[in-house]
Amino acid sequence: MRPPGSLFTRVLLTLVLSFGSFALITFGSALYYVLYPVVQRSTADLAAIIELSARTLSLLPQQARADYQARLLDEYQVRLLIGSEPPRELDNFFYPYVVRLSQALSRRMGQPVQMQSNLIDGRRWFWVDLETSAGTIWAGIPRDRIGTRPLIGAVVICALAVLLVLVTAAILARRVTAPLTRLARAAEEVAKGRSPKPLPESGPRELANLARQFNETSQQVRELLADRTVLLAGISHDLRTPLTRLRLALEMLPAETDPALSARMQRDIEEMSAQIGQAVELGGTLGAGERHRADLTQLISEVVGNRPRILWRPLGRCIHSVNAPALRRILGNLIENALRYSTATVEVRLDCRHQTPALFVLDRGPGIPDEEREAVFRPFYRLERSRNRSTGGSGLGLAVARQLAIANAMEIELANRDQGGLIASIRLPKPRAGDDTEGAH
């Protein structure tokens, strides 16, 4: 179901209202200028036949009346009854054609005439009493003589009109909005750091131009990302050479050099080297990898290893198709982040009960304010409180995890825990056709 405010829904409603109004006007015009005159003429002719037949019967001799009534019923399906006693079980039965016929008879007779109805052997008849020189004559016609089904016809016409309007409007609306929908999805992929396939540059000139401009922009974004990788690799190469010289110089310092100073310089050099390595890691090797069947329980156990302060309870096998190296790096970064900002036990959980398994890393650290929950995924971003340079970290761990997750169709979310702490969840991609999965047991 599409959201009420979507372009498709608005275009569809506009077309339905336009086509629906046109259909109603066309139907009303045909009814008034075509069907109504035909009905008027038909009821006037039938009223004339009924009146003339009744008057003719009143003028015939007694012995000729029965033959005339039989021939009239056989040829014109008009039954005439002489006498003041009306047909049995008459009631009012609404039928649009009969209403018009009553009006035509009223005009011919010069007085109001109301036709009534009854059932004879399961057959519907309509009757009217006419005053003639021979007395009251009842004239009746069967419903099947009229042959019209106005209500059924109206229902069929309206249903077909609604169906045609909806189908036509839906096709036109889709043709208009489908290219824009593809463009919106492709823009979302670019916003997530992925590289969508080029859009087809076809259709109306304006939409084709828009698709062409988007394809060019997307290509420029890919080139910028590639240039970033090359730039970071170049910076890493240029900076590691002087760092190596500094290490050598530090090793060659005289023995009487202050040990505390040497240790501090060594830590600074190691920190700079680590930050350069993380920057290069951010720029490269963050693409999508091949998915293979892996036991998530075993994968988590390998990442956790024998680290202290980690609570992990394996519950059984959980087989899922995933890019295992990427998942190891994502989970490792989240665990390192939790251990860095929490002094309590960090818990790792696996939920394999659904089609898309989920991993959770729970800590009892300070948490993250709601307004900064997305900002922490930016490269080199640090929170002002507790999560700053003095507590360690370069601000790249979560950025690397998020970009790896995006590239491999995973989802990472952060949420604050009750009573303090943070929950980092990893939602794995849905199984593809042919993938075999096996839930935990």
pLDDT tens for 306-327 read 888 899 988 888 899 998 888 9
Are 239 and 276 contacting, i.e. CB atoms less than 8 angstroms apart? yes
Question: Angle at CA 240, nearest 5°, toward 238 and 244?
Answer: 130
Q: Is the confidence at residue 27, as pLDDT, over 70?
A: yes
Helix ranges (DSSP H) in 284-396: 296-304, 324-341
pLDDT of residue 388: 44
Q: Concatenate the DSSP letters of all residues of 26-84 into one string.
A: HHHHHIIIIIHHHHHHHHHHHHHHHHHHHHHHHHS-HHHHHHHHHHHHHHH--EEEESS
Domain ranges of the chain: 7-152, 209-283, 292-427
Q: What does CATH list as the number for 209-283?
A: 1.10.287.130
pLDDT average, residue stretch 16-28: 82
Q: Which of 276, 187, 184, 271 is nearest to 232 (CA)?
A: 276
Average pLDDT score, the chain: 81
Percent of the chain with pLDDT over 70: 83
CA 371 to chain centre: 29
pLDDT of residue 389: 45
Query: Which one of 3.40.50.2300, 3.40.50.300, 3.30.565.10, 1.10.1740.10 gives the CATH number of domain 292-427?
Result: 3.30.565.10
Q: Is the confidence at residue 98, as pLDDT, over 70?
A: yes
Are 398 and 417 contacting, i.e. CB atoms less than 8 angstroms apart? no
What radius of gyration do the chain's Cα atoms show?
44
**pLDDT category of residue 243 using cuts at 50, 70 and 90:** confident
Q: Is the confidence at residue 153, as pLDDT, over 90?
A: no
CA 151 to chain centre: 37
Q: Which of 230, 229, 268 is nearest to 247 (CA)?
A: 268
Q: Is the confidence at residue 39, as pLDDT, over 90?
A: no
* Tokens encoding 133: 């020189």
pLDDT of residue 157: 77
CA distances from 255 to 250, 261, 263, 265 (A): 11, 12, 13, 15
pLDDT of residue 231: 67
pLDDT average, residue stretch 51-58: 89
pLDDT average, residue stretch 419-426: 90
Q: Is the confidence at residue 363, as pLDDT, over 90?
A: yes
CA 375 to chain centre: 29
In whole angstroms, give the CA distance from residue 373 to residue 383.
Answer: 10
Higher pLDDT, 267 or 329: 329
Q: What is the pLDDT of residues 99-138, one digit of tens each?
A: 888 999 999 888 888 899 999 888 999 999 888 887 888 9
> Which pTM was predicted?
0.49
**Topology annotation, domain 7-152:** Beta-Lactamase (3.30.450)
In whole angstroms, give the CA distance from residue 132 to residue 385.
Answer: 108
Are 99 and 71 contacting, i.e. CB atoms less than 8 angstroms apart? no
Which residue in the block uniquely carries the two structure tokens 């036109």? 172
- Classify residue 110 as exposed, middle or buried by CB count within 10 Å of its CB (0-12, 13-18, 19+): exposed
